[in-house]
Amino acid sequence: MSLVDVLRGHRVVVTVGSGGVGKTTTAAAMAVHAAMEGRNVLCLTIDPARRLANSLGLDEMRTSEQNVPPSLFARHGLECKGALSAMMLDTKRTFDELVAKHASDDEARDRILNNQIYQYVASSLAGTQEYMAMEKLHEVRKDPKWDLIVLDTPPTSNALDFLAAPERLIDAIDSPAMRWFLQVFEGAGKEAFGLVGRGATVLLKGIGKITGLAFLEQVAEFVGGINDLFGGFKERAEQVSDALRSPDVAFVLVTSPDPLAIGEARLFSDKLQDAGMNREGIIVNQVHALIDEPSVSTGDQVIALGNVLPESIDPAEIQPRLSEALRTERAWARADRVQVERLGDEMGDDTPIVEVPAFDQDVHDLGALARVASYLTRTA
């Protein structure tokens, strides 16, 4: 099995891994590849990075779908037989849409949307972004026009948090503390809040400037409002969570060859499997290439350097430094090799493991993404 088979055999491909390993880059590269092969592809990203927009030849990432025109492919000598669209996730808007969908009427909807606690939860509560990424995925995958959806996951500090996001969010909203607030509010009447309020305000300081009674009213309204749509919301989160386990969803782990990153990837792989999610491939990104030793003598190297360096630079002085740099680079490459091979042995099964070399420059245009894709789609 190769990564090409994984892309061809699934409708949703999700890149997961630690921050900075290349999730966004490889997600975009896979999307580019599949679009060039002829499929109608949506690249759904959480990363607002201009870099990615630029790489795809777009001015900016938008929160609605945006087509990458075939002429941009042509500019890099590439042919796009299918179509590629990109879309950036807007956490708050996705949450608002979810509320609107489940609220019993317009008044109930507005009560929640205008609530300050809601606004905090929807935009700042840890885990909301992760959950909404999945929520959006759930929504777009209902649209039959997409042959493939590639989802890039958020730059979560702990990649494992991502998978637990739907359950976590429900737990937070459905927590005993929230229910307690609601009960106290409804049971004791507003007068009781002068007392309770002080403690609670200290506890939930992060929520902002609102204090005392006003604050508690907001909490109660939020919890009451969420309860109103809770049946639908909880059910929805369960659907979203289940949908991630369906056979047409493939998770691709992205890691660097760094032993720490590999360790995390291994752990993450186990978690995915424990959770019943399909870990279908592994990308080891930014691998140091093993550069050959020079085939000529030191003396000849000095002569060759003399031919290319300006006269003010002594080639005999530069040569040992270049040799040293090459030795270091080769040591890195050998260390990377050991890591990748060990990972391969451990995975043991037919999970494709593909390597992408570290390029001299950031991946900054469609040509570079296609180049990344050419490594991703290599068959052993």
Considering only residues 277 through 306, tell me which ones interact with ligand ADP, judged by CB under 6 A. 285-286
259 binds, among Mg ion, ligand ADP, none (CB under 5 to 8 A by kind): none
Please give the size of the binding site for ligand ADP, defined by CB under 6 A: 17
Which CB, 26 or 218, lies closer to ligand ADP? 26
Token readout for 20 is 């900075």
Cα separation, 205 vs 223, in Å, equals 18
Q: Does 21 bind ligand ADP (CB under 6 A)?
A: yes
Angle at 373 between CA 249 and CA 130, to 5 degrees: 40
Q: Does 333 bind ligand ADP (CB under 6 A)?
A: no
Please give the size of the binding site for Mg ion, defined by CB under 5 A: 3
25 binds, among Mg ion, ligand ADP, none (CB under 5 to 8 A by kind): ligand ADP
Which CB, 7 or 363, lies closer to ligand ADP? 363
352 binds, among Mg ion, ligand ADP, none (CB under 5 to 8 A by kind): none
Cα separation, 6 vs 13, in Å, equals 8
Q: Are 11 and 148 in contact (CB under 8 A)?
A: yes
Site mask, Mg ion, residues 45-74, x = CB under 5 A?
A: --x---------------------------
Q: Does 19 bind ligand ADP (CB under 6 A)?
A: yes
Q: Are 154 and 130 in contact (CB under 8 A)?
A: yes
From 1-9, 132-140, 308-316, 352-360, give the range in contact with ligand ADP by CB under 6 A.
352-360
Residue with tokens 């494709």: 352
Cα separation, 248 vs 87, in Å, equals 21
Which CB, 11 or 51, lies closer to ligand ADP? 51
Among 10, 13, 14, 22, binds ligand ADP (CB under 6 A): 22
Among 112, 219, 356, 366, binds ligand ADP (CB under 6 A): 356
CB of 248 to ligand ADP, least distance (A): 23
From 73-81, 94-102, 171-179, 358-366, give the range in contact with ligand ADP by CB under 6 A.
358-366
Q: Does 332 bind ligand ADP (CB under 6 A)?
A: no
Closest alpha carbon to 252 in 286, 216, 217, 277: 277
Site mask, ligand ADP, residues 129-168, x = CB under 6 A?
A: --------------------------x-------------
Residue with tokens 């002085």: 317
362 binds, among ligand ADP, Mg ion, none (CB under 5 to 8 A by kind): ligand ADP
Which CB, 49 or 304, lies closer to Mg ion? 49
Which spans of this chain sit near Mg ion (rule: CB under 5 A)?
23-24, 47
Which spans of this chain sit near ligand ADP (rule: CB under 6 A)?
19-25, 47, 51, 155, 285-286, 356, 358-359, 362-363
